Chains A and B, each alone.
Chain A
Amino acid sequence: GEDVEQSLFLSVREGDSSVINCTYTDSSSTYLYWYKQEPGAGLQLLTYIFSNMDMKQDQRLTVLLNKKDKHLSLRIADTQTGDSAIYFCAESLTGGGNKLTFGTGTQLKVEL
């Protein structure tokens, strides 16, 4: 079955690194995504990683994938107050028509 879990809250100080974790259960995932949702707004795609990759870096964002443990993480370097939002990981499955299964979301709060 499909089940994607995230911790609910994370609080960091401005300038520190944030690490948001995600675990999934379905080994047939093809792509794994990170989306950001700011209050009252839709979902903004941040980055994605293909399941045969271990790491992807995009400016301040680093995605790590441990396929053996079915663990995905998003690291945000030099976290800013504008990074405060809810972050969702999502997976799409082989043969699943690319419909996304989302995690529960992690609310990131950046404090001064």
Chain B
Amino acid sequence: GAGVSQSPSNKVTEKGKDVELRCDPISGHTALYWYRQSLGQGLEFLIYFQGNSAPDKSGLPSDRFSAERTGGSVSTLTIQRTQQEDSAVYLCASSLQIGGSLGDTQYFGPGTRLTVL
């Protein structure tokens, strides 16, 4: 079936504005992850959702960052009052489940390139 999709592919915003990034995981995948790829920090984990459990938010860099996952499927990553250091590629991944098996393999979307001017 279709892979992980993300929108928009590119987003340019002004410092101080809020942005929303969307991720559509692979159908049937219960786990969803957000990562950030930036020049200075490489690839960093941000947050993950697993089914109806409370999300692991341990990677979110500040309280300006939040994410939701509605109906166990689509997820939105929101960045409030964007700063220039938020400029990065935001990657979403999904996996069938969590728990130490082949089904845990994460499949990544193409990413959203965010530029904060």
Question: Is B110 located at the chain interface by the 8 A CB criterion?
Answer: yes
Nearest CB to that of B104 among chain A residues?
A: A98
Main SS class of interface, B: strand
**Chain B interface residue count: which class?**
20 to 34
A31, A43, A48: the one contacting B108 at CB < 8 Å is A43
- Beta-carbon contact of A42 and B45 below 8 Å: no
CB 8 Å contact bits of A78-90 with B (1 = contact, 0 = none)? 0000000000101
Tell me the nearest residue of chain B to A4, going by C-beta. Answer: B42
**B104 touches which of A31, A44, A104 (Cβ 8 Å):** A31
**Given A30-B100, A104-B42, residue A98 in contact with residue B95 (CB < 8 A):** yes
In the bound complex, what is the Cα–Cα distance between A51 and B108 (angstroms)?
22
Complex contacts, A33 vs chain B, CB 8 Å: 105
Q: Indicate which residue in A35, A42, A94, A99 contacts B111 across the interface (CB closer than 8 Å).
A: A42
B107 touches A98 (CB 8 A): no
Given contacts A30-B100, A42-B109, contact A99 B43 (CB under 8 A): no
Whether A98 contacts B43 by the Cβ 8 Å rule is no
Are B111 and A97 in contact, with the CB atoms below 8 A?
no
Distance between Cα atoms of A90 and B95 in the complex (Å): 15
Chain B stretch 7-49: residues in CB contact (< 8 A) with chain A = 31, 33, 35, 42-45, 48
Contact A42 B91 (CB under 8 A): yes
A-B interface, 5 closest residue pairs, ranked by CB to CB distance from nearest: A102-B43, A43-B108, A42-B110, A42-B108, A99-B45
The interface of chain B, by Cβ under 8 A from chain A, is: 4, 31, 33, 35, 42-45, 48, 50, 56, 59, 91, 93, 95, 98-100, 104-111
